[in-house]
Amino acid sequence: MSYLSTEQKPKMPITLSTLQKFKANGEKFSCLTCYDASFAAAMQTADIDTILIGDSLGMVVQGKSSTLPVTVADMTYHTANVARANNHALIISDLPFMSVATLDRAIEASLAVMQAGANMVKIEGGSELCDIVSVLSNNGVPVCVHLGLTPQSVNVLGGYKVQGKTDDEAQKLLDDCQKLVQAGASMLLLECVPSGLAKAVTDSVPVPVIGIGAGVDTDGQVLVMHDMLGVYTRKPAKFVKDFLSDKDNETHDIVGAFKNYHMAVKNKTFPTAEHSF
């Protein structure tokens, strides 16, 4: 069955203002990675709120060992594929490794993915990105900043490890988040940080915060689509749950898995303590 259908009823688009209202009202929102039109259409059927075209495509689509080889051209291609089948979810596109090393590169990469259909860009780093965040946001590019475990810095971090475990690390993360929001960041994403720290960040900033391996108290949750469908090429991380084979997926299909994930996030039944640090 194809999920690309002209018979789907139009849905109201999720915008940044929608997510800000969700945060103000204490309503959670869902996010999944997506890389093509068919899965984007299936996510629309399931009411997924936000879609991330992640540079994770380097690993789950291209079969590479990390996200580092992914290019701006790759991100533009997959963003355009998703955008053609979506008129509901807010689309966030990763800017890949080294594409924000300079302001000029960041502007060029943002221009490419935004023109391909993104509604927001995501960049990895800390307060050193403030100048780039300010220029982009002042020129109509909403920015999500990814902190904590940042896969593009895996060689600096020494592997895929939980971040923010010491008092000094936690304080630096909090300080970085405050500075980035002041610089104009429209959203934050926290990966693999202790749940208490993620809650402190979420409570301290006015912008929506997405978590992955960061506990249930962030405003939204994101998973890599392949992970939540149980399609693994390596041992899944602690924060992953297989929603396709889950007992609550009565339809035993992909749309059912997407719907159950969406409702589990909305109802705060995912993530549980076993999926958190």
CATH number of domain containing 153 = 3.20.20.60
SS3 string of the chain? CCCCCCCCCCCCCCCHHHHHHHHHHCCCEEEEECCCHHHHHHHHHCCCCEEEECCCHHHHCCCCCCCCCCCHHHHHHHHHHHHHCCCCCEEEEECCCCCCCCHHHHHHHHHHHHHHCCCEEEEECCHHHHHHHHHHHHCCCCEEEEEECCHHHHHHHCCCCCCCCCHHHHHHHHHHHHHHHHHCCCEEEEECCCHHHHHHHHHHCCCCEEEECCCCCCCEEEECHHHHCCCCCCCCCCCCCCCCCCCCCCCCCHHHHHHHHHHHHHCCCCCCHHHCC
Specify if 11 maps to a domain: no
Per-residue pLDDT tens digits for 230-240: 998 777 778 89
Q: Are 100 and 55 in contact (CB under 8 A)?
A: no
Q: State which amino acid sits at residue 269.
A: T
| Burial (0-12, 13-18, 19+ Cβ within 10 Å), 179 | middle
Q: State which amino acid sits at residue 85.
A: A
pLDDT score recorded for residue 6: 43
Q: Cα–Cα distances in Å, from 246 out to 212, 223, 239?
A: 19, 15, 15
pTM of the model: 0.92
pLDDT score recorded for residue 42: 97
pLDDT in tens for each of the 277 residues of the chain?
455 554 556 688 999 999 999 999 999 999 999 999 999 999 999 999 999 999 999 999 999 999 999 999 999 999 999 999 999 999 999 999 999 999 999 999 999 999 999 999 999 999 999 999 999 999 999 999 999 988 787 666 555 556 777 999 999 999 999 999 999 999 999 999 999 999 999 999 999 999 999 999 999 999 999 999 999 877 777 889 999 988 777 778 999 999 999 999 999 999 987 887 7
Specify if 176 maps to a domain: yes
Specify if 27 maps to a domain: yes
Specify if 8 maps to a domain: no
Specify if 9 maps to a domain: no
Specify if 3 maps to a domain: no
Number of structural domains found in the chain: 1
Specify if 40 maps to a domain: yes
- Hey, which residues are catalytic here? 191
Please give the residue range of the domain that contains residue 266: 16-275
Q: How far apart are CA 237 and CA 162, in angstroms?
A: 11
Specify if 181 maps to a domain: yes
Q: Are 227 and 238 in contact (CB under 8 A)?
A: no
